[in-house]
Amino acid sequence: MPPLSLILVALTAIVAMSAVPVLVKSTAANEVTIGIARLVIAAGVVSILVAVSPARLRAIRAHQWRQLAVIGAVFAVHWLTYFASIKMATAVIAATAIATYGVQYLLLAWWFNREPVRGAEWLAMLACLGGCAVMVPSLSLSDSVTAGIVVGLVSGFLYACLPLLHQRAAALSNLQRTWGQFSFALLCFLPLWPLADWSLSNTDYLQLLTLGLLCTVVAHGLWVKASTELPPVFTGIIYYVYIPLAMISSSVFLDEAITARKLLGAGMIIGASTLVTLYRWQRSRA
């Protein structure tokens, strides 16, 4: 059993992250603007922490710089697709689509670690896809909600890559990896600067500040630590708290209706993902 303090770190990170869908959906800023703003704030704050002990950067070896660059690039595309999914669909549906990362991780484990995918795990993947299908109004990419779910699934796949990438770079400290993730992601976003729109209201800028400090510096910093040090079974299950929290906040702040179809779809995804996570954990112990 991992330390209770580490589980609390993961839960705190998820509670902070759950504000993201509502803030992204409600702000007038577009996906590129949100990404650049969050990363400038996050990379700036973490760079200050790193600057206190510059030897941490000098100690990074060449292959570890490459690992950080890959982590940052994957993180950047994950964010861009996630923000697009929220804007195209709804906050709840986008949050639910990305939650399929738990079963998508199975494909990554098979690809990178040659872990076999059993029948029960294939059923869990189908159940997650079925949960997404339940929520879409029509099976056509011309519908923005359907397109948003597809983009959310891509974002979820990239999100599933991140714990594996961080674990392979575990020789670096949490601060080094967090700094690398934000800094290299910012470098990936900067070429998109011409697409950003900074003609925003004070409320929009306050929302961007909240996204940068609370939902990025605090939440992702804590999640990097938790997802690296906790067994996957714990981070997998803890992450699904994200969906009901996003549903509640979307209902309160965005007046987004919690329909029976949304509850059914979310329930299928959470249930299948949780059961397959427990199944793999039990199988590994056996």
Residue 215 has pLDDT above 80, yes or no: yes
pLDDT in tens, 89-112: 888 888 888 878 777 777 787 777
Question: How confident is the model at residue 266, as a pLDDT?
Answer: 82
Question: How confident is the model at residue 2, as a pLDDT?
Answer: 65
pLDDT level of residue 139 (50, 70, 90 thresholds): low
The mean pLDDT value for 141-154 works out to: 85
pLDDT level of residue 29 (50, 70, 90 thresholds): very high
Residue 231 has pLDDT above 80, yes or no: no
Among 20-34, 39-53, 265-279, name the most confident range: 20-34
SS (H, E, C) the chain: CCCHHHHHHHHHHHHHHCCHHHHHHHCCCCHHHHHHHHHHHHHHHHHHHHHCCCHHHHCCCHHHHHHHHHHHHHHHHHHHHHHHHHHHCCHHHHHHHHCCHHHHHHHHHHHHHCCCCCHHHHHHHHHHHHHHHHHCCCCCCCCHHHHHHHHHHHHHHHHHHHHHHHHHCCCCCHHHHHHHHHHHHHHHHHHHHHHCCCCCCHHHHHHHHHHHHHHHHHHHHHHHHHHHHCCHHHHHHHHCCHHHHHHHHHHHHHCCCCCHHHHHHHHHHHHHHHHHHHHHHHHHHC
Q: Which residue has the higher pLDDT, 77 or 286?
A: 77
- How much is the pTM? 0.85
pLDDT in tens, 181-206: 999 999 999 999 999 999 999 999 99
